[in-house]
Chain A
Amino acid sequence: MKKNQIEYEFTCQLITDSTKYYTLLFSKSKHLEQIRVSQIYSKNYIRLPNLLLDNLYELRNVTIHNSDSMEFRTISNFIFKETPSDLLNDAQPITQINQNVLRFSVVPISLKIIDEEQMMSLMESTQEPRFRNIRYLLFNSEHDHVKILNTMEYRIHPIPKNKDILKEICDEVISAIEPAAFSSQKYKISLNKTKSMSNV
């Protein structure tokens, strides 16, 4: 699977298990490509003094099921009672999902629409973390409405236990939000030389 084929990420839980998250990855053509089952290991909130933004660092244990696996079909069957692609309607932009295709035991959490994705490179690792510009639809069952947010996230998987790589990642993330006056020579923040993020 090509990394940037994914345009939609739908996350849900089952009422029987509140620790597991099921994230269903859809391509631009709304085809279900991959299922990721995850559990949250930890969440750390970081407030940087005098800065505009805060960060949430979240670590998850993720098991990936591709469309050719048995688990993929099993999970898909207990989440959907109809064709998975019918979850996403044809309206542009998408502001809601078609919950009728979900089984009764499914609790929708969120839908991420990945608008832009920028691969980054690390010196200490061959992995490619990504900055992603996303539209985030939150489903709040209490109020029966959907909240839409534009936001940004940085993601790397898998993350190795290597302090040099962790430092590089932290550096990269902090550089992205700190005022130019604080940035070191190594991480240049340029007001003029903006390179636009590549479209998916």
Chain B
Amino acid sequence: MFDRAMPERYNVRAKNNSTDVYDRNSIIKKIIKFLDDVPGLSDKNNQSVELTIYFGYINFIEQPSFPKKYGDLKTLVSDKADQIIHFSYGNPTKMNILKVNFN
């Protein structure tokens, strides 16, 4: 459980092409597809599903820029089977969120 600050098993699609070019719309589309695929959301009247989005740092995922964050995980990555991912919480003082103009 990441709640206990432990790494967890996660299937990383290492062969997928990804890009460093920032395309906001395609990112949002991808996220919506993730969210949309959740079975619990299929009932439009379901009033019990909660979404929480955490801000933090992924130590490992499928982007070209991520090897910088590999660290000791590098050997695990070469397995290409189930991989380990670790999510650590962000420091809010470093976030632009405090600069967002809330209306």
Residues of chain A having any CB pair with chain B under 8 Å = 11, 21, 38, 41-63, 109-110, 118, 120-121, 131, 133, 136, 138-140, 147, 149-163, 166-167, 169-171, 173-180, 182, 184, 187-191, 193-195, 197
Contact B91 A147 (CB under 8 A): no
What residues of chain B lie closer than 8 Å to A155, measured between beta carbons? 50-53
The distance from the CB of A53 to the nearest CB of chain B, in whole angstroms, is 5
Contact-residue size bin, chain B (C-beta under 8 Å from the other chain): 35 or more
State which of B19, B90, B95, B98 has its C-beta within 8 Å of the C-beta of A194. Answer: B98
Given contacts A56-B87, A159-B41, contact A166 B58 (CB under 8 A): no
Query: Can you report 20 A-B residue pairs in the complex whose CB atoms are below 8 A from each other?
Result: A43-B2, A47-B58, A49-B18, A53-B56, A54-B55, A54-B61, A56-B2, A56-B53, A60-B50, A118-B102, A140-B5, A155-B50, A157-B50, A158-B48, A161-B41, A167-B32, A176-B97, A178-B24, A190-B100, A195-B101
How many Cβ-Cβ contacts under 8 Å join chain A to chain B?
A: 217
Residues of chain B having any CB pair with chain A under 8 Å = 1-5, 10, 18-22, 24, 27-28, 30-32, 34-44, 46-58, 61-63, 65-66, 85, 87, 89-103
State which of A53, A63, A147, A153 has its C-beta within 8 Å of the C-beta of B52. Answer: A153
Contact B28 A170 (CB under 8 A): yes
What residues of chain A lie closer than 8 Å to B18, measured between beta carbons? 49
Contact A176 B42 (CB under 8 A): no
What residues of chain B lie closer than 8 Å to A41, measured between beta carbons? 38-41, 49
Given contacts A42-B38, A46-B31, A59-B35, contact A194 B99 (CB under 8 A): yes
Closest to B65 in A: A49
What residues of chain B lie closer than 8 Å to A120, measured between beta carbons? 102
State which of B37, B47, B53, B101 has its C-beta within 8 Å of the C-beta of A193. Answer: B101
